[in-house]
Amino acid sequence: MLEGWIQIVLTLLIVVAFTPLFGRYMARVYLEQNTFLDPILNPVERGLYALVGVKTKENMTGWQYGRAILYSNVVMGLLIFSIIMNQGWLPLNPTGINAPTWDTTLHTTISFITNTNQQHYSGETYMSYASQMWGLGYHMFTSSATGLAVGIAFIRGLTGRPLGNFYVDIIRSITRILLPICIVGSIALMAAGVPETLAGAVVFPTLEDPNISQAIARGPVAHFEIIKQLGENGGGFFAINSAHPFENPNGFSNLIQIVAMLSIPTSLIYTYGLFANNTKQAWLLYSMIGVIFLGFLIVTAIGEYNGNPAVNTLLGSQQPNLEGKEVRFGWAESALFAVSTTATMCGAVNSFHDSFMPISGFIFLSNMFLQIIWGGQGTGTAYLFAYSILAVFVTGLMVGRTPEFLGRKIEKREVVLASFLILLVHPIAILIPGGIALAFPDQLAGISNPGFHGFSQVIYEYASAAANNGSGFEGLGDSQPSPFAIATGAKTTATALWWNLSTCFSLLAGRYIPILGLLFLADSMSRKQAVPYTTGTLRTDTGLFTGVTAGVILILGALTFFPVLALGPIGEAFFIAKGIG
C-alpha cells in the first residue's frame, strides 16, 4: 500500500513543480513576449497569418470571437465528416475498412470538434489510418487549441484587456504550445515502446492451431497518444484506450500521460496570476482546487484499495480486487489516472470506470458536474473564475461590501451570465436527455445493469458528453455494428441511434453555449472602468475569500446534482455497505 501512495505523491510533485515554469511560458506566449522558439516560429506564423488573411493586431469583441469559433468549427466538422464517410476509398487504409454508419460518423465528428472524443466505436475496427490522422488527430489539435484560446480570451477580459484575435490565438496555441510538446512527447512515447507506423496489422498463426491466424492491430499511435493527453482529448487509437499496451506500455508512458493531461489545466491558473499581476491569488486558487482534487483522489484510492467486502471474502489473499483496473500498475495508478482524467475533462482511461467502487463513481461524476477540478482545456479555468464572480456577489451581499473582481464592479449582467453558465446550461444538457433515456430503459437506453448502477451508467454518459470529457461507464448499447459486421449482414440498432443522436445534443450544448457565455462575460468585464481599492472593497486574494469560493462551488454543485448522485452511486454504496449488492 505504501508503494502506491509514494507513486501518487511523486507524480503530483512533478506536476506542481512544473506549474510555474509552464504557466510562465504560456503567459509569455499569449502576452506576445519573447520566447526561445521565436527564431523558428515567427516566420512560420507570419506565413500562416498571410495565408489565412489574419490582421494580427485586430482585436475582436466577444461576439466576433465566438462567431469565428463557430464558423471555423463548422468548416472543420464538415472536413472530418467527409473524411470518415469516404475512408473506404481514401489511402492509408491497409485493412480495407469501409465507412461507419452515418449516425456514428455524425456523433464522432461532433465529439471530436468539441474536444470531447466520446467514442461509440472501436478505433482499430472502425477507422482507417487516414481517418485517425487527417480527421481525428487533426481535430485533437484544433479543438484543444480552441479551448485554450477561449480560456486566454476570458483571462484577458477579466484583467481589463481586449479579448484578442481568435485566429492568432488558435495558431499560437498550436505552434507554440501543443505542437512542440507533442513532438518531444511522441518521441518519448516511441522510446517507451508505443508504435508509430503506417504498416498494417501483424498477422501470425496462433499457438493452439497453426492453421488459424490472428491479426494484431497497430498504426501511427505515438503522435496520436500525446495530443490525446496534452490536449485533454481522451479518444483512444484502440478501443480500450490507455489500457492497451500499444498506447500505454509501461510505467514511464503512464507517467508521461498523467503529467501531460494535468499540465495545461494546472499551469493556466498560474498564467492568470501573471496576467492579473497577482500570483498570490493564483496560488490560493491553485491550492483550493488542489485540496479538493487531493480529497477526491484519497477517497477514490482508499475505496479501490479496500474494495467490496462481499468480493474480498471470495478473493482471500488476492486483494485488492483489480477486476477492470490497470493490473500492470496497480490500484494506485488506476485511481490517480481515473480521478485525473475526469477532473481535467481529458476522458482517457487506463482502467474500466464501470468496475470502480460506487464511491469512485461519485467522485468521477462530481468532477464532471463541477468542471473546475482542474477543468477542461482553457474552459475549466474560465469556469473557475465564473464561480469566483458568483462568490464575490454572494459574499458582497452578506457583508455589505462592494462586489468587485480585480477592481471591476460585478453587476446584473455578469451575475446573470455566470449563473446561466454554472446553474442552467450544464444541468439541462445532462438531466433532460438522461430523464428521457431512463423513462424508456428497454427501448432507448439499453442498460446492462439494473437499479442504481444502471442509473449511474445513463447519467454518466450524458455528464461525460456535456462536460466534454468523453469517458464512459460503458455497459450501454451505444455502438452500431462495425463496418466489417455490416458488410456481412449485421443490422443497425435503434438503441445505438438514440445514444449517438441524443449525446450530440449534450456535446453541442455543453461546448458552444458556455463558450459564448464566457466570451460575453469576458467582453463585459473588459469594458468596465477599473476602480481603486478602498476599505469597502472585498478583496479576492485572501485565504478567507478563497474558502468562501470553495464553499460556493461545492454547495452549488451539491444543490444541482445531489438528487442524481443519491439515486446512483450513493444508493449503490449504501446497498453494498448493507451487504445487499
Q: Is the confidence at residue 309, as pLDDT, over 80?
A: no
Question: Can you tell me whether residue 237 is helix, strand or coil?
Answer: coil
Note whether 245 and 233 are within 8 A (CB): no
Query: Which of 353, 367, 347 minimizes the C-alpha distance to 297?
Result: 367
Q: Is the confidence at residue 165, as pLDDT, over 70?
A: yes
Q: Is the confidence at residue 85, as pLDDT, over 90?
A: yes
Please give the pLDDT value at position 440. 82
Strands 213-216 and 202-205, how do they pair? antiparallel
In a 10 Å sphere around its CB, with 0-12 CB exposed, 13-18 middle and 19+ buried, how is residue 347 labelled?
A: buried
Q: Which three cell numbers stand for residue 548?
A: 468562501
CA distances from 397 to 391, 393, 504, 543 (A): 10, 6, 39, 19
Helix count (H) and strand count (E) of the chain? Answer: 23, 4
Confidence of residue 413 (pLDDT cuts 50, 70, 90): confident
Domain ranges for the chain: 2-577
Please give the pLDDT value at position 536. 65
Q: What does the alpha-carbon distance between residue 326 and residue 317 come to, in Å, rounded to a whole number?
A: 19
Q: What does the alpha-carbon distance between residue 467 and residue 516 come to, in Å, rounded to a whole number?
A: 15
Cis link prior to 320 (omega < 30° from 0)? yes
Query: Which of 364, 397, 377, 161 minimizes the C-alpha distance to 276?
Result: 161
Find where cell 505515438 sits. Answer: 222
Q: Which three cell numbers stand for residue 102?
A: 452515418
Confidence of residue 392 (pLDDT cuts 50, 70, 90): confident
Please give the pLDDT value at position 532. 73
What is the per-residue DSSP string for 290-310? HHHHHHHHHHHHHHHHH--HH
Q: What does the alpha-carbon distance between residue 413 and residue 419 come to, in Å, rounded to a whole number?
A: 10
Q: What does the alpha-carbon distance between residue 222 and residue 197 come to, in Å, rounded to a whole number?
A: 9
Note whether 495 and 479 are within 8 A (CB): no
Confidence of residue 70 (pLDDT cuts 50, 70, 90): very high
Confidence of residue 306 (pLDDT cuts 50, 70, 90): confident
Note whether 320 and 309 are within 8 A (CB): no
Rg over CA atoms, the chain: 23
Q: What does the alpha-carbon distance between residue 104 and residue 489 come to, in Å, rounded to a whole number?
A: 18
Return the DSSP state at 537. B
Please give the pLDDT value at position 316. 62
pTM above 0.75, yes or no: yes
pLDDT in tens, 466-522: 999 999 887 788 888 988 888 888 888 888 999 999 999 999 999 999 999 999 999
Q: Which three cell numbers stand for residue 147?
A: 479551448
Within 10 A of 24 (CB to CB), how many other CB atoms are there? 16
Q: Count CA atoms within 13 Å of residue 196 on its CB side.
A: 16
Contacts of 373 (CB under 8 A, 6+ apart): 289, 292, 293, 296, 343, 367
